[in-house]
C-alpha cells in the first residue's frame, strides 16, 4: 500500500473539494482550432526521423483537454493507432507521463492516478468502481473511512451557508476533540468530508470563536499519522485550495529530489481550473514565480512542457 504522499492526490483533482471557474486556468480553448492541422503536425513529429518534441509540447500544452480529445479521435481515425500508444512508444520517462496525462480525459486520469497510488505503477485495472473497491481493500480504520468518503464524492455541493448549523458543527467538533478525553475521530470525518466548502469556511470561523485554537491546530494536537495529515489538508483546502496546492508544488520541488508525479498531476489537473490563482499564491508564499522555480528545478523537454502549462507571470 502506498503512503500518504501518493494518496494526497485525492485532494488535487478539481472535483474533490471545490468547483472553481475555468476562467482562472492558464490553458483555454485555442482560437481558430483546426483539428486536421494538429493531427498532421503530430503525425509529422512522431512518424518522422526522430520525434520532434517541440511540436508535441506546442500542440498538446496549448489546447484544452476537450480539444485534445478531438485530436486523439481524429488521430486514431487517420492512423489506425491511438495517440496514447504512439506517445508511449516515442517518448520516455516523466515527459511521456506528462503527455499521456494531457491526452487522457480528466476523470479517467484521476482514477488512474488513485489506482496507481494504491496498487503501484503499471497498474491497468478498470477505473470507476474498481477504484472504490481497491481503496476498500487497501485502507482501513478512520483514515480509510475518510479517503473513501472523499473518493466517492459524497460532499454536499450547495453554496448556501447555514450559520446556525456551522455553530452547531463547530460545537460538535470542539466537544469531540479538545473538550473530550480522547478524540472522536468519526465526528471530524463526518463533518469535514461531507459539508460543503462554503459551509465549512463558516464552521472554521465559528470554531475559532468557541476555542482558543484554530481547527487546524486542534486537529494537529488531537490526532496523529495519516488521518491527521488528511484532515489538515482538507482544512487547508477549505481555507484556500490554490494556496494549499502552491505549497504542494513547492514541497515537490524543494524536498529531497523533485517529486515529478506531483508536479505533473497538479499542473495538468489544475491548468484549466485555477492555475492562475495557484501561481499568484506561489509568488505570495515563496517570493518567486512558479515559472522561475520550474526553470531552475526541472530540465529537458519535461521542464519545457511544464513551463508551457504554467505560463509566465505577468
Cell numbers for 307, please give them: 513551463
CA atoms of 57 and 256, how far apart (whole Å): 28
CATH for 156-237, options being 3.40.50.1820, 3.40.50.720, 3.40.47.10, 1.10.220.10: 1.10.220.10
Mean of the pLDDT values across residues 222-226? 89
Beta-strand ranges (E) seen in the chain are: none
Mean of the pLDDT values across residues 211-226? 92
Give me the chain's average pLDDT, please: 87
Q: Give the per-residue pLDDT at 19.
A: 45
Which sign, positive or negative, has the C-alpha torsion 170, 12, 114, 120? Answer: negative
Cell numbers for 60, please give them: 498538446
Q: Which CATH superfamily is domain 241-310 in?
A: Annexin (1.10.220.10)
Residue 20's pLDDT band, with cuts at 50, 70 and 90, is very low
Q: Which of 236, 151, 242, 234 is nearest to 195 (CA)?
A: 234
CA atoms of 35 and 64, how far apart (whole Å): 12
Phi, psi of 229 (to 5 degrees): -60, -40
Q: Are 188 and 173 in contact (CB under 8 A)?
A: yes
Q: Give the per-residue pLDDT at 2.
A: 46
- Number of residues that make up the chain: 314
Q: Give the per-residue pLDDT at 148.
A: 83
Mean of the pLDDT values across residues 81-93? 95
Give the lowest-confidence range in 56-65, 140-149, 228-237: 140-149
Q: Where in the chain is the domain with CATH 1.10.220.10?
A: 35-104, 156-237, 241-310
Q: Which of 188, 230, 194 is nearest to 6 (CA)?
A: 230
147 vs 96 pLDDT, higher one: 96
pLDDT digits over 107-160, tens only? 888 877 777 776 655 544 555 656 677 777 777 788 888 888 887 888 898 899
Residue 92's pLDDT band, with cuts at 50, 70 and 90, is very high
Tell whether the model's pLDDT for residue 177 goes beyond 70.
Answer: yes
Q: Give the per-residue pLDDT at 21.
A: 46
User: CATH second-level architecture of 35-104?
Assistant: Orthogonal Bundle (1.10)
Mean of the pLDDT values across residues 303-308? 97
Mean of the pLDDT values across residues 196-219? 95
CA atoms of 241 and 223, how far apart (whole Å): 22
Tell whether the model's pLDDT for residue 15 goes beyond 60.
Answer: no
Amino acid at each position: 500500500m502506498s503512503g500518504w504522499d501518493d494518496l494526497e492526490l485525492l485532494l488535487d483533482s478539481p472535483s474533490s473539494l471545490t468547483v472553481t471557474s475555468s476562467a482562472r486556468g492558464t490553458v483555454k480553448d485555442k482560437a481558430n482550432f483546426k483539428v486536421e492541422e494538429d493531427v498532421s503536425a503530430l503525425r509529422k513529429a512522431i512518424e518522422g526521423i526522430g520525434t520532434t518534441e517541440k511540436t508535441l509540447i506546442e500542440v498538446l500544452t496549448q489546447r484544452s483537454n476537450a480539444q485534445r480529445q478531438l485530436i486523439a479521435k481524429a488521430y486514431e481515425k487517420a492512423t489506425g493507432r491511438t495517440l496514447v500508444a504512439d506517445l508511449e512508444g516515442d517518448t520516455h520517462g516523466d515527459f511521456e507521463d506528462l503527455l499521456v496525462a494531457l491526452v487522457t480525459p480528466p476523470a479517467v486520469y484521476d482514477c488512474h492516478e488513485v489506482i496507481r497510488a494504491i496498487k503501484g505503477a503499471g497498474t491497468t485495472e478498470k477505473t470507476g468502481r474498481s477504484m472504490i473497491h481497491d481503496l476498500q481493500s487497501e485502507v482501513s480504520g478512520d483514515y480509510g473511512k475518510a479517503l473513501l468518503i472523499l473518493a466517492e464524492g459524497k460532499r454536499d455541493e450547495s453554496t448556501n451557508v447555514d450559520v446556525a448549523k456551522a455553530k452547531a458543527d463547530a460545537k460538535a467538533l470542539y466537544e469531540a476533540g479538545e473538550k473530550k478525553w480522547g478524540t472522536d475521530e468519526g465526528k471530524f470525518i463526518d463533518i469535514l468530508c461531507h459539508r460543503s466548502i462554503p459551509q465549512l469556511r463558516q464552521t472554521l470561523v465559528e470554531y475559532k470563536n468557541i476555542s482558543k485554537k484554530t481547527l487546524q491546530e486542534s486537529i494537529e494536537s488531537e490526532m496523529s499519522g495519516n488521518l491527521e495529515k488528511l484532515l489538515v489538508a482538507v482544512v487547508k483546502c477549505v481555507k484556500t485550495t490554490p494556496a494549499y496546492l502552491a505549497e504542494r508544488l513547492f514541497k515537490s520541488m524543494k524536498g529531497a529530489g523533485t517529486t515529478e508525479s506531483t508536479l505533473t498531476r497538479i499542473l495538468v489537473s489544475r491548468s484549466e481550473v485555477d492555475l492562475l490563482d495557484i501561481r499568484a499564491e506561489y509568488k505570495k508564499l515563496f517570493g518567486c514565480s512558479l515559472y522561475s522555480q520550474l526553470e531552475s528545478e526541472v530540465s529537458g523537454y519535461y521542464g519545457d512542457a511544464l513551463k508551457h502549462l504554467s505560463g509566465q507571470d505577468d
